[in-house]
Amino acid sequence: MIEDRLLARLGWALPAMTILLSTLAHIMSGEYRAFPFFISEADFPGIQRIIFTAGFTLTGIVLIYLSWRLFQINKNHTRWYWMHLSMLSGIFVGANLIIMAFMDMYDHLEAHILTAVNIFYFGLAWGVLTHLAMKDASDKSKNLRYLSISLGFIALIGMTYSINLGLIANPEFVNGDWDMEKMQPWINWAAPFEYLLATSFMLTLASFGADINSEEEE
């Protein structure tokens, strides 16, 4: 089986590379609608869609396995109730990521929004629950989670507030049928906050590396 430290690295490196490469491919194709754009706008027909779908599908599988391994390795020396909830949150995030990878925002908007919201909220919950469970975690991983979770909440609030301002100004879009061009003044703020939220999630995943020690190392 895959070595645990490598698994932890893949947990953050795969989504980071997926977002970076799909975003760059979308920009270089010249088919991007406006800049800045949401991460999911890179799930556009072409090489960027292949990168986006394959990358996030693999990431979802890795995160499901990572959440299970994190639970298996640490369940006997953590707060077990938080650890169980942490595992369930991680599996839920991974499953939603796999579904979102195939539910692009252009053809499956409602399903895409639902899975993305689940990833945002339960991704934050996974970090918080893991942090609460790991009472004996290393100072390095704790400090990294303090940073990542704080950034995550700031980014989520900023993104949500920006979108809400846009919907207040354009109430006809409340049901989800957006005119992206009309919403762009608020996307100019919401999109960077979304990238910051994704970065915070990857920092949280990186923090698991110090705590997912194999049983032999313990």
Q: Which DSSP state fits 215?
A: T
Residue 214 has pLDDT above 50, yes or no: no
Domain-embedded: residue 215:
no
Domain-embedded: residue 69:
yes
pLDDT digits (tens, 9 = 90+) for 144-167: 999 999 999 999 999 999 999 999
Q: State how many domains the chain has.
A: 1
Cβ-contact 218, 62 below 8 angstroms: no
**Average pLDDT score over residue span 202-211:** 88
Cβ-contact 89, 67 below 8 angstroms: yes
Least confident of 4-13, 34-43, 54-63, 147-156: 4-13
Domain-embedded: residue 217:
no
Amino acid residing at 181? E
Overall pTM surpassing 0.85 (yes/no): yes
